[in-house]
Amino acid sequence: MITAKLKDFSWERMIAAVDAVRERASRMAAALDRAGIRHAMIEGNAIAAWVARVDVEAVRNTKDVDILVRREDFEGVIKAAEAVGFVYRNVAGVDLFLDGPEGSVRSAVHVVFAREKVRAEHLLPAPDVTESEAGPEFRVAALDALVRMKLTSFHLKDKVHLLDLADVGLIDETWCDRFPPALGARLRELLEAGDGEL
């Protein structure tokens, strides 16, 4: 039984949601560029950016924005972000930026610190911001770095993102040997199982 209050189906709302994510990502990236702070887009938007380079019809939309920055630059990140309307918060140990005082955590800009483990149990730390490529609106994590992050975290959404990359031919079984054996085994198992695992 559906208990949520439903609105009419709407292309406009669907498009507005995608546009809002793009606007937040571009605004944050531009603010950091103006401040001279090195950074890179990671997670869902970075996956989408890579997939779009091959097949725009295979792009999967995401609701939030994730950026990679160095911890030593974080004070500057806060200042630059707040100058363009973001509000810094630490929620349950996660550093993020709400889009204004009334912004939602679900649509926030989430921060990952370069060269640090996101979780203590992770095998590898996040990559450095230098492992990235320039795009027209923002820098994107390099494909190798992005795949490494996804294999390290390896939650359901990470598996889906890896399969998206594989689906358009950006990664395949030859990538398994690029990573430590534990991560390579994860990738091999995922690719062999394919969509049937999810």
| 7-55: pLDDT as tens digits | 888 888 888 888 999 999 999 999 999 999 999 999 999 999 999 999 9
Q: Quick check: pTM over 0.95? A: no
| Helical residues (DSSP H) of the chain, grouped into ranges | 11-34, 43-52, 74-82, 143-153, 156-167, 181-193
Q: What is the pLDDT of residues 75-98, one digit of tens each?
A: 999 999 999 999 999 999 999 999
3 belongs to a structural domain: no
2 belongs to a structural domain: no
4 belongs to a structural domain: no
Q: Quick one: pLDDT at residue 57?
A: 93
124 belongs to a structural domain: yes
Question: Beta-carbon neighbour count of residue 165 at 10 Å?
Answer: 21
158 belongs to a structural domain: yes
Q: How confident is the model at residue 195 (pLDDT cuts 50, 70, 90)?
A: low
Percent of the chain surpassing pLDDT 90: 82
1 belongs to a structural domain: no
40 belongs to a structural domain: yes
80 belongs to a structural domain: yes
- Look up the CATH number of the domain holding residue 192: 3.30.460
Residue 177's identity, in one-letter code, is D
Q: Which domain holds residue 168?
A: 15-197
With a cut of 70, say whether residue 138 has pLDDT above it. Answer: yes
Instruction: Name the domain count of the chain.
Output: 1
